[in-house]
């Protein structure tokens, strides 16, 4: 049986929805990439107004955070059951996806508001600066600065980090979250305010040009013939070309990190028809075992 045979089994609901997506060549212009992405996100938000809770159930504020060479925005969402005096709550810090190149506060806004209210958890959504204007490692550095800001502003966010201090994100955001979890583990700044969890959705964990031989047999999804209307290898290579990371940097690629012992526990979600699928599956093994027992 071909290793691609499973691709013929597609969820009927997804197949019907995807048939309406136009077949467009990936644009070379970054501004057009961003316009298309934000347009699609906006359509989704407009079609799901019932997912949003009344403004009285949460407080939403944007704050500016100084970073090296400028400032970024973080959107803070705090539950308000029974009024502003509620809390303290756990804290979730989110990093949006988009190949480190597209996306922003609009990307996850709707579901983060839903998460804030339904799970009674304060949320900080990080609008890190994007490549190619701000290439590697700037998105990661902005994100780490924002993580420290969140840890230092528990009163503003009405949080108690001992109740939960979680980082997460999808795709490129998952890469950032996983990388920062490893970095925070070794940083004395977080010694008394350790991360307690990671929520990683189809995280990027390895650069395709620098896959160790021991992983190659388990990393097949990047080369599978996925629908060009969605994320595929060509799209990922385009993002890497704009972001310009070092493929060998262990602080950027979690699968390359030599030690995963003691990192915050992770929940990892993957999608069957996604080129990043196998990176998440393989990283679950790396995050579950120390270097001595893995590989």
CA distance 18 to 229: 8
pLDDT at 228: 64
pTM attached to this predicted model? 0.91
Q: What is the pLDDT along the chain (295 residues), one digit of tens a residue?
A: 344 444 446 778 767 766 666 655 667 799 999 999 999 898 877 776 767 888 899 999 999 999 999 999 999 999 999 777 789 999 999 999 999 999 999 999 999 999 999 999 999 999 999 999 999 999 999 999 999 999 999 999 999 999 999 999 999 999 999 999 999 999 999 999 999 999 999 999 999 999 999 999 999 999 998 766 678 899 999 999 999 999 999 999 999 999 999 999 999 999 988 999 999 999 998 777 643 433 3
Q: How far is CA 144 from the centre of its chain?
A: 13
**3-class DSSP assignment, residue 237:** helix
Rounded distance between C-alpha atoms, residue 215 and residue 280, angstroms? 12
The dihedral sign for the CA sequence 260, 148, 269, 273: negative
The residues, ordered by sequence, that sit 6+ positions from 65 with a Cβ below 8 Å of its Cβ are: 71, 72, 73, 74, 145, 146, 149
Question: For the chain, how far is it from start to end, CA to CA, in angstroms?
Answer: 27
Residue among 31, 61, 38, 33 nearest 124 (CA): 61
| Token pair listed for 177 | 């979250």
Residue 61's beta-bridge partner residues?
76
Domain ranges of the chain: 25-293
Cα distance between residue 234 and residue 237, in whole Å: 5
User: What pLDDT is attached to residue 27?
Assistant: 74
CATH of 25-293, one of 3.30.450.40, 1.20.120.160, 3.40.50.2300, 3.40.50.1820: 3.40.50.1820
Nearest to 68 by CA among 126, 132, 140: 140
The whole-number pLDDT of residue 294 equals 36
Q: Which residue has the tokens 């704050």?
A: 63
Closest CA relative to residue 212, chosen from 157, 163, 256: 256
What's the CA gap between 173 and 256, in Å, rounded?
18
pLDDT at 45: 79
Which of 106, 114, 119, 98 is CA-nearest to residue 62? 106
State both tokens at 246. Answer: 């070092």
Contact 180, 110 (CB under 8 A): no
């Amino acid at each position: 049986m071909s290793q691609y045979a499973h691709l013929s089994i597609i969820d009927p609901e997804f197949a019907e929805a995807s048939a309406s997506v136009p077949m467009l060549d990936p644009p070379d212009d970054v501004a057009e990439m961003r316009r298309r992405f934000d347009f699609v996100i906006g359509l989704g938000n407009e079609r799901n107004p019932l997912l949003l809770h009344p403004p009285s159930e949460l407080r939403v504020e944007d704050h500016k955070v100084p970073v090296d060479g400028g400032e970024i925005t973080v959107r803070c969402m705090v539950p308000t059951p029974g009024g502003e005096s509620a809390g303290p709550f756990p804290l979730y810090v989110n990093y949006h996806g988009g190949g480190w190149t597209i996306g922003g506060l609009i990307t996850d806004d709707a579901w983060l508001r839903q998460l804030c209210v339904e799970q009674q958890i304060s949320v900080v959504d990080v609008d890190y600066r994007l490549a190619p204007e701000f290439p590697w490692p700037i998105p990661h550095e902005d994100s780490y600065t924002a993580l420290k800001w969140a840890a230092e502003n528990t009163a503003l966010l009405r949080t108690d980090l001992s109740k939960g201090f979680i980082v997460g994100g999808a795709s490129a955001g998952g890469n950032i979250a996983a990388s920062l979890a490893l970095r925070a583990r070794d940083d004395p700044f977080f010694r008394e305010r350790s991360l307690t969890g990671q929520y990683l959705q189809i995280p990027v964990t390895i650069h395709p040009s620098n896959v160790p031989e021991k992983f190659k047999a388990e990393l097949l999804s990047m080369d599978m013939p996925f629908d060009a209307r969605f994320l595929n290898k060509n799209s990922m290579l385009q993002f890497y070309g704009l972001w310009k990371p070092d493929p060998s940097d262990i602080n950027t690629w979690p699968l390359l990190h030599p030690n995963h012992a003691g990192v915050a526990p992770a929940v990892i979600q993957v999608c069957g028809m996604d080129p990043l699928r196998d990176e998440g599956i393989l990283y679950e093994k790396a995050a579950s075992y120390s270097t001595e027992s893995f590989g």
